[in-house]
Amino acid sequence: MRNLSGEDRAKTLEMGLARSLLDIIILSFLVEGPLHGYMINVKFRKAFGHGLSASTIYPLLYTLEEKGYIEGEWKGKSRRKRRVYSITRKGEERLAAAYLILSRLTKMIETKFEKLKESKSIQWPSVTVS
């Protein structure tokens, strides 16, 4: 296993967390307005510095649509049609629930982190996370 810098470890952690919350991240992008898969990937790349493969994003969009969290509609010229996705009411409710759960988890982690930070036995790395 290679030895990663603190910043690289933070970026790896951030990407892992983002992937585990990918459905929620996509719903949050769609709150701003309808998007097609490519533009969702552009927004993801802008936010996290790394894009998603088509084999990751499109099956997830299909699953979110199947579950009723988003709706897709074919738009555009006959040769360049794109499936444009919008968040549904059910998707908004899922996003709101995720927000509440993540807020609660964040508060719990912050409390534990502050206690741990007070410990003299821990060497804290200097890492900036965007």
pLDDT (0 to 100) of residue 7: 72
The ranges assigned to domains in the chain are 6-115
CB neighbour list of residue 91: distance below 8 Å, 6 or more residues apart: 27, 30, 64, 68, 69, 70
Q: Name the fold adopted by 6-115.
A: Arc Repressor Mutant, subunit A (1.10.10)
Q: Give the H or E element holding residue 84.
A: strand 82-87
Q: What is the pLDDT along the chain (130 residues), one digit of tens a residue?
A: 456 666 777 778 888 888 889 999 999 999 999 999 999 999 999 998 889 999 999 999 999 999 999 999 999 887 889 999 999 999 999 999 999 999 999 999 888 888 877 776 666 666 555 5
- Taking the model in full, what pTM does it have? 0.80
